[in-house]
Structure 1
């Protein structure tokens, strides 16, 4: 289920000079809008805080994503750099499944990547990609246990922003750590970045559950820890729930795929 698959890259379109000024719908709703999956949840009280110094590290590693689907519908998501030209995000950000809308399912048409976006301000500009990766478990069947993917950009913009590491840790290690999530929720002003942190509630072989507040638009965010002053992703945020939200765990297989995509 973890063998990876690649979209056929198309010609890269020119970037628009100005980011979208109004909120677009959450990319999760493209795959799950008619289903029974809750995509991102704020569990009151809302602990999220706005990040305004988005041009600084580590906030500039988090990217606002403007997604154009195969049917030209437009959506938002979040991604994070793991290398000069590689971002990690949710599988449902790069490949839509089970939408029920003719012409919408499958690889998205393009994704505009805006590192450290703060509303209308793009401190590192933007770049548009049509080069995406995911794994068979998501691409072939939309299995929520394999909901992760990558965006490969045609520049090395990540060399300007920096990136996060990533790792595969034991259950006990994850349960004793604090999870951090920063991204671009659609329930806040368009293109603003919001952050929250809490402990990990539970883990299983393929997913991590946490009571960290998120909202639609944060699909694909890094769930990361701070270790010796450095930041390491250990899950990819993807889903909400009544009491906890959850992300795809970075297992050894996921880790190996990240290494391959980074290269």
Structure 2
């Protein structure tokens, strides 16, 4: 059984390189054992199709890595492979960043390239260059060279790579049942692409070990120790009892201060190990089920927040506030719409609230996205969505600072919506949610003039639609709302929003706008969290290809005719015009008051939400996410 004892990591800060060009020469790293890197048996490797490393190619996220060490009196460069798990973060071998083969110790500089095909390719359009800023590896690897199972590392880049990167997802290494496709990486470089220089050499340490699932490449391990003969040519695993907890290591990048001074290696704790929610390990017929990690920071972590907001609208939320009951999702939309209007207000002027910004409509679609995700059965595609949400959450505004901004809004519009109680604003009811649709689908009859209409998510959303029974004219309302929502850029889960909203909580706290109700304060915080997570859910879904979206299945809707988009649009219709009106009214009433208060006081520095905890690894396929979070 996996231990719940906190893990340890070695971290350090890198120096920026003096040049973006690859080094003139580089050697192969070693893990400290005898012999050079090798291959197993006959070398059956083949160069990949050059198109596969171009923008959008299936191996675009494979990275050529050069690491610089101080050496014995002169700098030494070593080379290997990495693979992107985020546009600004790659996985590689521990021995590429901390050398035991020649006892050079920690790397001081790291250069990274995608689209790379030899030094002669460096100036070609498909090649992008970045350099490393921070490194995380296992503490066990820097302590002794014998810990080959811990020979893995993560490198943060100075800025994200751009374009269609096809960033790789990873899962816990399965015990059996998957077809491993192999290792894709950069072996020894061909100097200037000269065919006379010989064959590709060994040197793929740090490359991903890939398998295929539903037509998609997924990493199940890292090729990390390929030296010392065929018996030692292998990789190490992800998660489970003996693998490396990638999620815990990645979470350390959310705390830049952890890395200290350049070149100084520090050992830190990663936090709790792989335990289930509530301290229970989760199993599903002998297989690990979805078990989000406990928080690795002192602040509320991603899944702590997720558990809390998932209870909004449930039959028994452990709170005295009525605002967290069935109408909680509706009030969350009002909160999200207000924040979106504030974040998008040009020059923080009152006039910014006179025009319809699209923030109210986006907030409704965001809430619909979150409810649909909560209803989904657990699978690898849902894991991908949650990984994206967790990354986006790390860019969001600091929640606590914004509570004073929304307290009066929650109090007023929560009471108003509770008094109305139309069917359109009922909250999420977990897997018991149901939609009484009329028979036959209808066209939304809206046109897109912008390129957003080409997006797979948008095409699915704007397709033929089922109307709720007894809601005459609802389709005529829904089409323009969805079009406005997907065209809106008023994201609240972003660094831009964090900057725009910075200082508002402090200034509002000093005015008569704020409320001192403790019950409302608690509800406001949770509904703020829900609004931000809902926006993160929408952002994550918009990035998904058609094939991934097709695998997202709400557990209470039969597969086939009805699916994910039907669920989303059912929620949007239930929220309906009443919530849209309340959201617009709240922005127009409170927006100018908040702006006036903010303009009278100096702003504080922007803060960011409790950084993302480890991306969740999902195994089970039957229970919905909502069910699991409410165990």
Q: Same fold (TM over 0.5)?
A: yes
The whole-number CA distance in structure 2 between the counterparts of 1:50 and 1:89 is 19
* Cα RMSD after superposing both structures: 2.7
Structure 2 portions without partners, runs of 5+: 1-5, 194-199, 254-390, 392-611, 613-631
1:238 Cα deviation after fit: 1.9
SS across alignment from 1:184: coil
1:84 Cα deviation after fit: 1.8
Paired residue for 1:185, among 187, 198, 202?
187
Which residue is equivalent to 1:205?
none
The whole-number CA distance in structure 1 between the counterparts of 2:149 and 2:112 is 25
The whole-number CA distance in structure 2 between the counterparts of 1:77 and 1:61 is 14
Q: Alpha carbons of 1:9 and 1:44: their partners in 2 closer, same or farther (altered >3 Å)?
A: closer
Q: Alpha carbons of 1:19 and 1:9: their partners in 2 closer, same or farther (altered >3 Å)?
A: closer
Q: Which runs of 4+ in 1 moved over 6 A?
A: none
Paired residue for 1:138, among 125, 138, 141?
141
Which residue is equivalent to 1:255?
246
Aligned residues: 228
Structure 1 portions without partners, runs of 5+: 193-213
Listed as ranges, the matches of 1:76-87 within 5 Å are 76-87=79-90
1:165 Cα deviation after fit: 0.2
Q: Would you say the 8 A contact 2:26–2:76 is kept in 1?
A: no
1:216 Cα deviation after fit: 2.8
Q: Would you say the 8 A contact 1:137–1:146 is kept in 2?
A: yes
Q: Would you say the 8 A contact 1:180–1:224 is kept in 2?
A: yes
The whole-number CA distance in structure 1 between the counterparts of 2:186 and 2:68 is 17
Listed as ranges, the matches of 1:20-35 within 5 Å are 20=23, 24-28=26-30, 31-32=31-32, 35=33
Paired residue for 2:160, among 156, 159, 165?
156
The whole-number CA distance in structure 2 between the counterparts of 1:107 and 1:236 is 20
1:135 Cα deviation after fit: 0.7
SS across alignment from 1:92: helix
1:23 Cα deviation after fit: 5.4
Which residue is equivalent to 1:125?
128
1:170 Cα deviation after fit: 2.9
Paired residue for 2:11, among 6, 12, 21?
6
The answer to whether 1:227 aligns with 2:227 is no
1:37 Cα deviation after fit: 5.3
1:88 Cα deviation after fit: 0.1
Which residue is equivalent to 1:47?
45
Q: Alpha carbons of 1:191 and 1:217: their partners in 2 closer, same or farther (altered >3 Å)?
A: farther
CA deviation string 1:32-54 (max 9, x = no partner): 3xx32552315215332343222
SS across alignment from 1:224: strand
Which residue is equivalent to 1:62?
62
Structure with bigger gyration radius = 2
1:189 Cα deviation after fit: 1.6
Q: Would you say the 8 A contact 1:23–1:189 is kept in 2?
A: no
The whole-number CA distance in structure 2 between the counterparts of 1:226 and 1:107 is 34
Q: Would you say the 8 A contact 2:25–2:77 is kept in 1?
A: no
The whole-number CA distance in structure 1 between the counterparts of 2:208 and 2:61 is 10
Give the TM-score taking structure 1 as reference length.
Answer: 0.76
Moved more, 55-64 or 82-91: 55-64
SS across alignment from 1:7: strand
The whole-number CA distance in structure 2 between the counterparts of 1:129 and 1:45 is 32
Q: Alpha carbons of 1:239 and 1:51: their partners in 2 closer, same or farther (altered >3 Å)?
A: farther
Which residue is equivalent to 1:201?
none
The structure in which a higher percent of residues are strand is 1
Higher relative contact order (CA 8 A, sep 6+): 1
SS across alignment from 2:60: helix
The structure in which a higher percent of residues are helix is 2
The whole-number CA distance in structure 2 between the counterparts of 1:94 and 1:43 is 28
The whole-number CA distance in structure 2 between the counterparts of 1:15 and 1:229 is 39
Give the TM-score taking structure 2 as reference length.
Answer: 0.34
